[in-house]
Structure 1
């Protein structure tokens, strides 16, 4: 696949795979094993972007996958571990969920170092394709900072356990419905941020632990025109609307991706916003088994993504005008 017009789309896909791999590799509840499918998909996309195709022999050396210029961006000290992890991830993907023996990968710190190197390759490809404009739009540097090592864990350990949020404070209005399609009487609460790990517990006392949905609304204050990079991680589906326009689609039902009970999906977007107040709405549905929802944002390239600070948000009220949620 060498058509240059298709490469920006491939770059978007590769960026999403990179972020998913790094998020899972840094998460103590998931780890390298869960990141393996995304690592393998990322490597194949890099081959197409770098050399125009995936090698016929999938166990070919790295020199057959990446151009010399791009390969030079990966430290030689990582070549052996990266090659071994890629082949293990490939073999596991071909064998399926019941692969035997157990998938063995490098420890999280090593895998994260590999992914940082691959992010530099993506950054270089973005610059080659579209210069600084495309590289900035994809926020590859932002994504390269998105996952953190276990020893320096920060707010982007997205699927780490956290206590229940207090329900009487916070800038988000939460409406939980006892069905997957926003039907039934909602249980309305206030929450601090969208960083939930319900696991197999119900979100509230009146809502079942499976087959429910939720809407979360708030008003985002932007002092000066800027680009905001946002990311949704959820099990099951989620989507983000800004001022009524869908900006992130992470909605489609998914088959198990990590374990038979896990259906984690990751999607993101970089959105230009004018100065003013903007309505944010996140919609979520839970099918069955494990449940989680995380929204993070970065307001500049130097800041790692994290839950949106409360001081940037205004509570829209328990009842508000759907046509003008942030009015008044």
Structure 2
């Protein structure tokens, strides 16, 4: 039986812990809020994030990271991306020597422009063969209801990816392997930024043609950046690329799309932030993604206007004008043939 610690009791951390249990594993779920830990252990429910979802007996919650991490095979990191470094630094002395560290996070670190797997390697001082990523078009509420879904287990070591695949494969959650960690992480991080723009467009009342344009051109941005960083272009046509992008840009369950939609409807950034319960990763990551793109001389116009709206006070009307008035381009540019 696989033993796992899931560090983070938000919606996707909780539901991935449930997936691991349903795949035959034993899971300790670490949370920072006593009321959530108590509710999971005594009532088998995380009412704050997944109300009405019964959690398995093989999942135990704890406030103690040492208890969660003791003797586990997998350490699944499910905290907001901008808090990873601080949290993992505190947990480093507790990490089992042979455990695989698995990232559920979809963001780019502010200041360093590092992907989450890079932060994990640096802070935990582990080789890349012990770091894996789960990414795909996965909404916690749907997976909790055992609706059919698929994801990617990515690791530079194919055998580690296969072991992780086996640890979280269930009849309703299908997992594929990939050794392109760069591509899978970029797809997961940048799609949040594109979804903010799609949400803004929807809030302004624009329809499916606009949405399709932004999704498609957003995918082109992801592919350009990925190519510059050494990713496999085929990854962006898969679950961690196009699949995640379409889901995040289209679903009302998407935090980032909803955040953008509220902006498009006329709410201020401060108002939207105040009513947004869970982290919309694209808001903070947009600046880090743009900085990463500029370091590698990659043109990302959608990301640029999203970052300007989120962090530099650009009016939404001006952002739309800038995107539509850009100089003519061939459809495929800035990507090696």
TM-score, normalised relative to structure 1? 0.31
**Larger proportion of helix:** 2
Larger Rg: 1
Which of the two has greater strand per residue? Answer: 1
TM-score w.r.t. structure 2 length? 0.31
